[in-house]
Amino acid sequence: MIIVKKVFFFLLTVLLFFVVGCDSDSKTEEETRGYVTFWFDDGLLSTYEKAFPVFEEKGWNAVLAVVGSRVVMSEKIAQEGDKIMSWENVKEMEEKGWEISNHSMTHEKLGDEKSLNYLKMEVLGSKEVLENYGFSVESFTFPHGDKGCDKARDMVQLNYFYWRSTVSEINSLPPERHLKCLFVTECMDRKKIREWINKAEEEEGWLIIVLHSIINNPVGWWQQTPEQFAMIVEEVEESSLEVVLPRDIFELFAEEIRW
């Protein structure tokens, strides 16, 4: 009888192990073969209304790249079918765990023709605006995906831990301070998204997915439909990539990074 009871409890323990394991949404170290970060540019209202609730439900956080001048950015976005989120929206997202990145003051390219004072306003003045609103700012997101002129890059390197352009690559690990990404366009399909995810898994690297407006009728190639956004989320969820923030990666590999 004792032997039978022992066998019974052993089998029950094994059964519970598999049931609990199957119900868990988190990925174990054995299941994880790389990392992925969602990076939303421009601080758009559709990010707050469409992406934020979905990520809350899944327990994910992302990066929100915010432009310092709300007036200038509102005028630029008005013709694109979206709006700028309020500072209250941004603060709510940061408090829930989202990482805030500086996306310049007026969202202009930081080219060689710009004066030093202009570059200071775009790179440093905008950081001051965000910090005055109480935001912690560790990164810079170059506007228009541009890497900027030498003066702008030097200024960014001296004042930010890391920065992102739209150089199209999987980030190797440990990471460099210049972060590369997959810039999602409105015509990018499931096959292309899956190719990038597969590549990140094979390389055990870090994929950064950049998104903008999530609207029903995109007017620009950089925008996404709600259906396309849902597809990308689904592909990431079914992958072995762990959803992380840049600060998570830099903390994880802190001892191996050259500063």
CATH topology for the 31-256 domain: TIM Barrel (3.20.20)
Q: What is the pLDDT of residue 259?
A: 64
Domain assignments of the chain as residue spans, ordered by start: 31-256
How many Å apart are CA 155 and CA 150, to the nearest integer? 9
Pairwise CA distance, residues 159 & 137, whole Å: 10
Check residue 49 and give left, alpha or beta (phi > 0: left; psi -120 to 50: alpha). Answer: alpha
Distance between CA atoms of 40 and 155, rounded to whole angstroms?
23
pLDDT at position 133, please? Answer: 96
Phi then psi dihedrals of residue 186, to 5 deg:
-70, -15
Q: Which residues of the chain are modeled with pLDDT < 70? A: 1-31, 259
Q: What is the pTM of this model?
A: 0.88
Closest CA to 58 of 249, 213, 238: 238
Tokens, residue 147: 């890497």
pLDDT score recorded for residue 228: 98
> What pLDDT, on the 0 to 100 scale, is given for residue 15?
38
Strands 137-141, 206-211: parallel, antiparallel or unpaired by DSSP? unpaired
Structural element, H or E, at residue 38:
strand 35-41
pLDDT at residue 76 in the model? 86
